[in-house]
């Protein structure tokens, strides 16, 4: 006679639960990425290594993302910390009622104008967020800066990136559909942040705000980013010119851009134009791992684009604040002098053009005014089981070291929670 408890075991009721290996790995990855102390990260890494996962298994576990509980919907004020200096501020957040953490949602970051707050511009897009189905966050700049116009500082840029991080801790956002837009001061912010952190955004919506000439060498970073600008033709001439400058540079580089310059209107919010512009952006998603990357930079922390990083400049690379001397400038007219200065900025900006050929497992780079590069080898484009051929300015080398799980984990931390481009190696290269 079979005893009842034996029947239960045979049926599986009394058997010990088999742990979900993928779930366990995902939880360990989450702990590693959340842990600030290096020693504790080492302990978590040891537990991951003990499971002996393959590189792709670890990447798949990371891609699951953290387990997020249901979170409030509707509109509310939230607090956030600006990562650059630890300053605290607030933001308005709108989450559609249909939100569920079961899927990823688009996120729009709205940047306010001079003397305003996030709460003052939030209503311009709140209805669209609810009807189109995206999350909307409108951070408020700190008092030191918000009444002074856009000051092009690291702290101001960090405000917008920190707002993304803050929302992503509580809500499941689609990292390939993050958008940035703003009005006046916020329009300048959109260009300024967008060209420096182009791999964070799928689209930009600058309204009555433009590009400064010193950033001309960074516009090429926007390849793959949808840009839709709105400008009143009767606005201050300098603002119109700055907006036209950014648009013209994108067109010169062959990058797609939509620009609406509205006759008979000046400096304003253009609420009647926002639905079409937002729909234009929402139709475009970021490619999380492009095979071709063009990076221009003025230096850290905005010196990486996807898998390409410029770690050190050559001595003749131009940096903001450095005077540009044009021979014969005193004899030139204003327009000719401006043209020469812009050409010099473009020419002397540290730049690298890189392309991956997945079939040949090859990375090719052309770099100018660069002393040292770092390549973060992406798993989506390169085979870690084959030697990777690397060509920099015609010089060849190979990477054939064993894939390192720690490289993957540390790179995920460096990318601030963006898990869409796992890497298997980090290669530093001296450029000659």
Predicted confidence (pLDDT) per residue in 288-315, tens digit: 999 999 999 999 999 999 999 999 999 8
Do 113 and 160 lie in one domain? The reply is yes
Put the strands of the sheet holding 258-262 in their side by side order: 74-81, 88-95, 135-139, 105-111, 173-183, 203-207, 226-232, 258-262
Ordered mean pLDDT values, 10 residues apiece, the chain (432 residues): 41 50 93 93 95 94 92 97 95 98 97 96 98 98 84 94 97 98 97 98 98 96 98 97 97 98 97 98 98 96 97 88 80 86 91 98 97 97 96 95 89 92 95 92
Judge whether 1 lies within some domain: no
Do 230 and 108 lie in one domain? The reply is yes
Among 149, 96, 406, 395, CA closest to 267: 149
Do 254 and 303 lie in one domain? The reply is no
Backbone angles phi, psi at 256, to 5 degrees: -70, 140
Among 188, 190, 165, 166, CA closest to 180: 190
Judge whether 287 lies within some domain: no
pLDDT, residue 315, reads: 85
Do 229 and 265 lie in one domain? The reply is yes
Number of domains in the chain: 3
Predicted confidence (pLDDT) per residue in 159-186, tens digit: 999 999 999 999 999 999 999 999 999 9
Do 309 and 175 lie in one domain? The reply is no
Residue ranges making up the domain that contains 27: 7-63
Handedness of CA 13, 14, 18, 24 (dihedral sign): positive
pLDDT, residue 10, reads: 38
């Amino acid at each position: 006679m079979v005893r009842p408890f034996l029947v239960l075991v045979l049926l599986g009721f009394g058997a010990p639960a088999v742990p979900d290996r993928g779930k366990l790995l995902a939880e360990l990855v989450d702990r590693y990425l959340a842990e600030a102390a290096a020693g504790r990260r080492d302990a978590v890494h040891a537990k991951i290594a003990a499971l002996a996962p393959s590189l792709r298994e670890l990447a798949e576990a990371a891609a699951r993302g953290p387990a997020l509980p249901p979170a409030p919907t509707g509109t509310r004020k939230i607090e956030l910390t600006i990562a650059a200096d630890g300053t605290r501020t607030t933001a308005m957040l709108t989450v559609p009622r249909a939100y569920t953490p079961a899927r990823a949602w688009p996120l729009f970051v709205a940047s306010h104008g001079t003397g305003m707050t996030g709460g003052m511009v939030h209503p311009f897009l709140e209805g669209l967020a609810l009807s189109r189905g995206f999350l909307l966050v409108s951070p408020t700049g700190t008092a030191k800066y918000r009444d002074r116009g856009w000051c092009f500082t690291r702290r101001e840029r960090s405000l917008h990136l920190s707002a993304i991080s803050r929302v992503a801790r509580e809500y499941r956002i689609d990292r390939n559909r993050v958008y940035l837009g703003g009005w006046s001061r916020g329009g300048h912010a959109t260009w300024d942040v967008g060209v420096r952190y182009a791999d964070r955004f799928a689209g930009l919506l600058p309204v009555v705000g433009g590009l400064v000439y010193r950033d001309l060498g960074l516009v090429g970073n926007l390849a793959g980013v949808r840009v839709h600008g709105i400008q009143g033709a009767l606005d201050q001439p300098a603002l119109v010119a700055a907006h036209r400058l950014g648009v013209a540079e994108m067109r010169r580089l062959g990058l797609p851009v939509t620009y609406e310059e509205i006759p008979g209107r000046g400096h304003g919010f253009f609420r009647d134009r926002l639905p079409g512009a937002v729909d234009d952006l929402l139709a475009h998603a970021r490619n999380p791992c492009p095979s071709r990357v063009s990076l221009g930079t003025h230096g850290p922390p905005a010196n990486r684009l996807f898998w390409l990083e410029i770690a050190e400049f050559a001595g003749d690379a131009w940096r903001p604040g450095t005077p540009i001397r044009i021979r014969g400038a005193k004899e030139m007219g204003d327009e000719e002098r401006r043209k020469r200065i812009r050409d010099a900025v473009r020419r002397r900006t540290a730049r690298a053009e890189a392309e991956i050929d997945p079939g040949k497992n090859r990375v090719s780079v052309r770099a100018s005014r660069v002393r040292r590069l770092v390549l973060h080898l992406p798993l989506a484009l390169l085979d870690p089981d084959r030697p990777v051929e690397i060509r920099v300015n015609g010089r060849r080398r190979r990477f054939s070291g064993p894939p390192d799980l720690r490289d993957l984990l540390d790179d995920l931390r460096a990318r601030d929670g963006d898990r869409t481009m796992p890497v298997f190696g980090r290669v530093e290269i001296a450029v000659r």
